[in-house]
């Protein structure tokens, strides 16, 4: 334990320090964004009426889905379920569904015929380590924030009311289980809480403990193939109890603030959480402009200006190969004289060749007559 307190992590944290947690809500009920350092997660809760399971006709259905998209990290592939995705889904189901944190019997509408199916979709928007903790915080916060439509049952007919007709109803949640992750190095010699992405690359093992604020352990999962002692697990559980109490208090305050903002009719949702000066950072202050004597100033400027020349100078060719095009004048490229000289030279050579041929023909004719 003393060795763990001697070094400082890459981001400046101590051994048991968590990264900064930020919780914001969307405009609709059941939409939650969680920032755990640079790790960003979005959870969305939805519901629909379905037929119950045959072995549990009086209980609603809970369904969890975690999506790891390439938007979060290039190591994730689109349309392919990786081992990490399967592991996170199972751990989230153990943390929330198997711990009986939600009263599933209250989701029953008509026994054996219709029940509510609650679906929790968790999307990873940015991956910087410790996805499980961020996913558990986002999922339980979204479930606490969600409101299902109110219904009325008359015989076999079920009427679902819109939020404008009747106020939606919150889910019955008994407790809030939250996962806390511990990474081990050098076969358990060193222990870190809330590992980042760089620390996860070099760790030897990982221990995830899901616990509520009443210090009730909901699930425990170890991965990495390291052997942990009983004292190490007990120490991790004590640390997890402290962290879970702090995170639960943070979730309660965030839900309370959102409830007050919605009740007061003020702005709420994800857009409200963005810094307002970020878009208008380059906005300049307004400057007063005097416009009373604009006409007089314009008249003075016109009187002081000189009239433009009415004639256009003729085009000039400063050097051979340089052209000038202006005001409909003839385009001159300084090559006409050279071409004319070449044409004249060719014509003179052709005339000389014709005269030589005529002289040779005349000489040949004279020789022929002399011989005769």
263: left (phi over 0), alpha (psi -120 to 50) or beta: alpha
Distance between CA atoms of residues 140 and 23, nearest Å: 12
Dig out the tokens for 247 from the structure. 């995170």
Q: What is the pLDDT of residue 72?
A: 86
d(Cα 68, Cα 77) in Å, to the nearest integer? 8
CA distance 238 to 242: 7
| Rounded Cα distance, 278 and 92, in Å | 35
Q: Rounded to an integer, what distance in angstroms lies between the CA atom of residue 358 and that of residue 87?
A: 106
User: Could you report the per-residue pLDDT of 154-182, keeping only the tens digit for each?
Assistant: 877 888 888 888 889 999 999 999 999 99
User: Do the bridges between strand 147-148 and strand 151-154 make them parallel or antiparallel, or are there none, so unpaired?
Assistant: unpaired
Reported in sequence order, the residue ranges of 224-353 that DSSP labels E, i.e. its strands, are none
How much is the mean pLDDT over the chain?
81
- Is the confidence at residue 146, as pLDDT, over 90? yes
Domains of the chain by residue range: 4-273
* CATH architecture of the domain covering 4-273: 2-Layer Sandwich (3.30)
368 or 65, greater pLDDT: 65
**C-alpha atoms less than 13 angstroms from C-alpha of 42 in its C-beta half-sphere:** 13
pLDDT digits (tens, 9 = 90+) for 76-111: 887 777 888 889 999 999 999 888 899 999 999 988
Residue 259 has pLDDT above 60, yes or no: yes
For the whole model, what pTM was predicted? 0.70
- pLDDT-above-70 percentage for the chain: 76
Q: Is residue 268 scored above 70 in pLDDT?
A: no
> Which one-letter DSSP state was computed for residue 166?
S
pLDDT bin (cut points 50, 70, 90) of residue 3 is very low
């Amino acid at each position: 334990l003393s060795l763990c307190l001697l070094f400082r992590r890459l981001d400046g944290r101590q051994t048991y320090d968590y990264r900064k947690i930020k919780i914001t809500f969307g405009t609709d009920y059941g939409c939650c964004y969680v920032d755990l350092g640079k790790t960003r997660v979005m959870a969305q809760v939805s519901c629909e009426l379905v037929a119950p399971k045959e072995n549990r006709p009086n209980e609603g259905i809970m369904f969890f889905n975690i999506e790891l998209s390439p938007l979060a990290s290039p190591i994730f592939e689109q349309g392919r379920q990786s081992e990490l995705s399967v592991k996170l889904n199972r751990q989230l189901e153990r943390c929330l569904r198997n711990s009986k944190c939600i009263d599933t019997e209250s989701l029953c509408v008509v026994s054996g015929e219709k029940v509510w199916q609650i679906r929790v979709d968790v999307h990873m928007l940015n991956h910087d380590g410790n996805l499980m903790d961020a996913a558990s915080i986002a999922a339980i916060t979204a479930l606490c924030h969600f409101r299902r439509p109110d219904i009325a049952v008359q015989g076999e007919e079920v009427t679902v009311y819109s939020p404008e007709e009747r106020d939606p109803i919150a889910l019955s949640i008994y407790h809030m289980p939250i996962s806390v992750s511990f990474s081990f190095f050098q076969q358990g010699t060193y222990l870190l809480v809330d590992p980042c992405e760089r620390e996860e690359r070099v760790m030897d093992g990982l221990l995830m403990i899901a616990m509520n604020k009443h210090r009730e352990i909901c699930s425990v999962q170890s991965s990495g193939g390291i052997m942990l002692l009983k004292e190490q697990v007990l120490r991790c559980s004590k640390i997890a109890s402290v962290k879970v109490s702090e995170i639960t208090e943070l979730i309660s305050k965030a839900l309370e603030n959102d409830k007050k903002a919605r009740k007061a009719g003020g702005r709420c949702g994800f857009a409200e959480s963005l810094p307002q000066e970020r878009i208008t950072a380059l906005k300049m202050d307004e400057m007063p402009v005097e416009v009373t004597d604009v006409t007089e100033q314009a008249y003075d400027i016109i009187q002081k200006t000189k009239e433009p020349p009415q004639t256009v100078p003729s085009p000039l060719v400063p050097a051979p190969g340089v052209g000038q095009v202006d005001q409909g004048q003839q385009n001159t490229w300084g090559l006409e004289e050279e071409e004319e000289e070449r044409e004249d030279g060719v014509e003179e050579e052709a005339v000389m060749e014709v005269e030589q041929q005529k002289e040779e023909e005349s000489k040949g004719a004279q020789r022929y007559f002399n011989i005769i």
